Structure 1
């Protein structure tokens, strides 16, 4: 896991004297931002002239049809253009499409709502030139700030989102949409598959960046338009985190999900057993019913969530394999429990219970391995 570093901000006089020889491609994902586009272009143009930057600005627009395209064309800036996207719409796919269309060696991503100060771009480029692989415009490092009207709930939402990403990166602000990286590093990324709006976290994990820096910024609230951060986008963030956890900690995540599903199966088993008992069925039928329903529910949940990569294959064959693996796992549990009861735990008063728990653990591990590598095995090999 990488160790984040905070680039030291050079004095403004030093920054003003710096000549940037690398061209910069600035990617701005947009949807209904026609009012903000002229304002952003004016500020970027001022930075371009002040620092003698060679740059292009690409608006990756999700077919806004609100005058955004006309606003870019009316600006008269030959270094600004818009890509209108009509398929696979969304913030993260828009950024990736923009990066793929970029022509310069340095890539910068920022929002169009004026929350990210383009005046910080030269400092971010300096950090890249000093050896950083990835640089974020951060709200939470010393020297950074946000507008005063951030309420408690907004702060809490950001803090929880950052905490959930902590096993993936130690950066203070991995939620930021303002970042810079090299085009060559972006082209090395494997299996980019982001959902939602946290493309920076996707790139940090999938590109395997080890040296990441944060530049302090002042984060301003938008003036025009509406925020795109809806409840739906926040739920997508949870889905995105799950994908990244699976990418970084594959076996541990599969096992954790398998155990969660197994726990749910116990609840289902007991609930069905209680219902059948309430209906007056014989105890043997209650036990069989609870086991049968829990096996089906475990199979469906594991197929849908734990081993979702295998959902396109025959459900019937997988169910037969799942039942067979469960039966073998139950046999392993039984044999291990008897063996431990007769040897290691023979003299203990609660020896039977301890033996049973060890047997359950052995059976659960066998069930997981059988399902992971046989029933729901991956059928391709990545070179």
Structure 2
């Protein structure tokens, strides 16, 4: 591995400093952060001088029209530039676009609101050299902290979001927007499709980083402007987490969603059956009505949520396939239950119930496999 930093000791017992020997690209997504831009440039400039940092600083701005372009121009630094983005807006797409524009082998992302201390950038780069694949500026490792006025609600929101991400990474602060990685690792990433603002978690999962380091930071409240963390962004995070779970634990997640839809189908079945019975229709009609409506709702929900990647295809052909898979599942259910009851299970008052449950389980698995690999099969598999 090429060395990207070294420690210098100023002779006569001087204090050790980190000299970064590889050029670094710092990407900062912005939207209406004109007041914070001059202060951030000044602090990064101080770090640059203290550690011989060869840096390019790229502000990726979502057409703020608030003086951000003028603020960068007024700074008069040839190593600083601002890109006004057109098209899809959002923090995560801005970061990815910035990384693709970056020219240097080390990539860093940080916020513009001065909540992330640029003074720890050399330590983050040193951690990369020590063997870490991805380095986070972390609030939750020993030595990390947040401002005292965070409040319980904000603390709880952060902790719950981190807990939801725990099956995806052992990092203590995967929600952080302050992180570093190598350009070569970023270039190998595939299927990047982030939603919302948690781009670090997207990269950890999609780049399959195992060695994630964390450098303690003090997370400060923003200096100027308003927070971009809205309820809408929090809901988008839930959607993002679902996507990442599907990416990392595809088969289990598809099965769980299929089972949830199946459970909703049972509720629909019983509700329709009860309604038709209340209307005075014969039992046979009520039973058929409950089954028919639940099959339709199961199909629609599976198409919309469980196998959402296939919802752009012909729905009528998919529905016909779903009906065929469901009918075969019923046959499997019945055959397994009958075989177990007659040939395997000892005769007890509950043997038929046990056989029926086993039949339901086998029928459900068959329905899932038929739906997953035939009705809603993926056409392309990316290695």
TM-score, with length taken from structure 2: 0.95
Q: What SS does structure 2 have at the residue aligned with 1:135?
A: strand
Task: Name segments (4+ residues, structure 1) moved above 6 Å.
Answer: 9-15
Change (3 A) 1:318 1:11: farther
1:113 aligns with 2:113: yes
Q: Secondary structure at the match of 1:338?
A: helix
Describe the superposition over 1:215-260 as per-residue Cα deviations: whole angstroms up to 9, x where unpaired. 0000001121110000110111111111111111111111111111
Say whether the 8 Å CA contact 1:16–1:51 is kept in structure 2.
no
Following TM superposition, by how much is the alpha carbon of 1:346 offset from its aligned partner in structure 2, in angstroms?
Answer: 4.1
Describe the SS at the equivalent of 1:19.
strand
Q: Is the 8 A contact 1:340 1:346 kept in 2?
A: no
Q: How does 1:168-207 map to 2 (within 5 A)?
A: 168-207=168-207
Distance 1:81 1:104 in 2: 14
Determine helix, strand or coil for the equivalent of 2:344.
coil
Contact 1:29 1:111 in 2 (8 A): yes
Q: Tell me what 1:330 maps to.
A: 330
> Any idea what the Cα deviations from partners look like across 1:82-104, whole Å, max 9, x if unmatched?
11112111000000000000001
Query: Which stretch of the first structure deviates more once superposed, 276-285 or 209-218?
Result: 276-285
Post-superposition offset of 1:14 = 8.1
Map 1:19-168 onto structure 2 (within 5 A). 19-168=19-168
CA separation in 1, counterparts of 2:338 and 2:93? 55
Q: Over aligned residues, Cα RMSD in angstroms?
A: 1.6
Aligned pairs for 1:294-313 within 5 A: 294-313=294-313
CA shift, 1:305, in A, is: 0.7
Q: 1:251 to 1:11 in 2, by over 3 A?
A: farther
TM superposition shift of 1:312: 1.1
User: Which blocks of at least 5 consecutive residues in structure 2 are unaligned?
Assistant: 1-6
Shift in Å, 1:115: 0.3
CA contact (8 A) 2:309 2:378 kept: yes
Whole-Å separation in 2 of the counterparts to 1:74 and 1:141: 38
Whole-Å separation in 2 of the counterparts to 1:365 and 1:85:
47
**Aligned residue-pair number:** 375
User: Structure 2: how far apart are the matches of 1:26 and 1:161?
Assistant: 26
Native 8 Å contact 2:254 2:306 kept in 1: yes
* Residues 319 and 45 of structure 1: CA distance in aligned 2, closer, same or farther (over 3 Å): same
1: distance between equivalents of 2:227 and 2:293? 45
> How far did 1:17 drift?
2.9
Give the structure 1 partner of residue 211 of structure 2.
Answer: 211
Which whole-Å CA distance do the structure 2 matches of 1:356 and 1:34 have between them?
Answer: 67
Answer yes or no: is the 8 Å Cα contact 1:336–1:359 preserved in 2. Answer: yes
- 2: distance between equivalents of 1:167 and 1:70? 44
Secondary structure in 2 matching 1:184: helix
> Is residue 15–residue 123 contact of structure 1 (8 Å, CA) maintained in 2?
no
* Structure 2 SS opposite 1:149: helix
**RCO higher in structure (CA 8 A, sep ≥6):** 1
Say yes or no: does 1:286 pair with 2:283: no
**Structure 1 residues 17 and 10: CA distance shift in structure 2, 3 A:** closer
Q: Name stretches of at least 5 consecutive residues in structure 1 with no aligned partner.
A: 1-8
Query: Who is 2:4 aligned against?
Result: none
Q: Normalising by structure 1, what TM-score?
A: 0.95
Structure 1 residue aligned with 2:371: 371
CA distance in 2 between partners of 1:95 and 1:278 (Å): 58
Q: Which residue of 2 aligns with 1:339?
A: 339
Contact 2:9–2:17 under 8 Å retained in 1: no
CA distance, structure 2, for counterparts of residue 195 and residue 382 of structure 1: 20
1:16 touches 1:50 (CA, 8 Å); kept in 2?
no
